[in-house]
Amino acid sequence: MSAVAAAVFNLTPIVIRSDSMAPSINRGDLAIAHTQSAGDVSVGDVVSLTDRAGVRVTHRVVTADPFGSSIQFTLKGDANAVPDAEVYNVTSVDKVIWSAPKLGYPMSVAIGPIGILIGGLLVGSLGYAIFDWRRRVRESRQFG
């Protein structure tokens, strides 16, 4: 259900993996971000994007300047002494709209291999229970 809501409303769940945004957002927190045009983001907003190395970075916007058809962002983690070395040229970003303390830990488990295994076992058990229930109903009608 939450996956459908995320897709319909263009939301992205983000598990925070460092304390670079502490104390406002801490390691293990779950952030919910809305994908939007980079031009709709203001200085002071917290955004999440992927750097050149493919690592997701979730930091606060320090500067936002037009750069051709994109926006050039300088970002800085609240706990960091200096802005990020990389300047980000993007046309859209994930803007953090909400965060919840420590909810990232169960989310990491749920979307990881253990969560997938547990989900598969639950679906399989439910399927077996329905099949077994239908079999019992048929037998009781036959012999009842």
Query: Where in the chain are the domains?
Result: 2-102, 112-144
pTM score over 0.85? no
Q: What is the mean pLDDT of each run of 10 residues along the chain (144 residues)?
A: 63 93 95 96 98 96 96 98 97 96 72 72 86 86 71
Nearest to 44 by CA among 74, 67, 70, 68: 74
Which pLDDT value is given to residue 4? Answer: 57
pLDDT at 60: 98
> CB-based contacts of 5: which residues, under 8 Å, 6+ apart?
11
- Helix count and strand count (H, E) for the chain: 3, 7
d(CA 15, CA 28) in angstroms, rounded, equals 6
Q: Please report the pLDDT score of residue 88 as a whole number.
A: 97
At 108 the pLDDT is: 62
pLDDT of residue 1: 47
pLDDT of the residue at 136: 87
- In terms of DSSP bridges, do strands 30-37 and 92-100 run parallel, antiparallel, or are they unpaired? antiparallel
DSSP string, 15-84: E--SSTTTTTS-TT-EEEEEEEEGGG--TT-EEEEE-TTS-EEEEEEEEEEEETTEEEEEEE-TT-SS--
**Phi and psi for 96 in degrees, rounded to 5?**
-70, 125
Nearest to 58, CA basis, from 82, 25, 28: 25
pLDDT at 115: 66
Specify the CATH number of the domain 2-102. 2.10.109.10
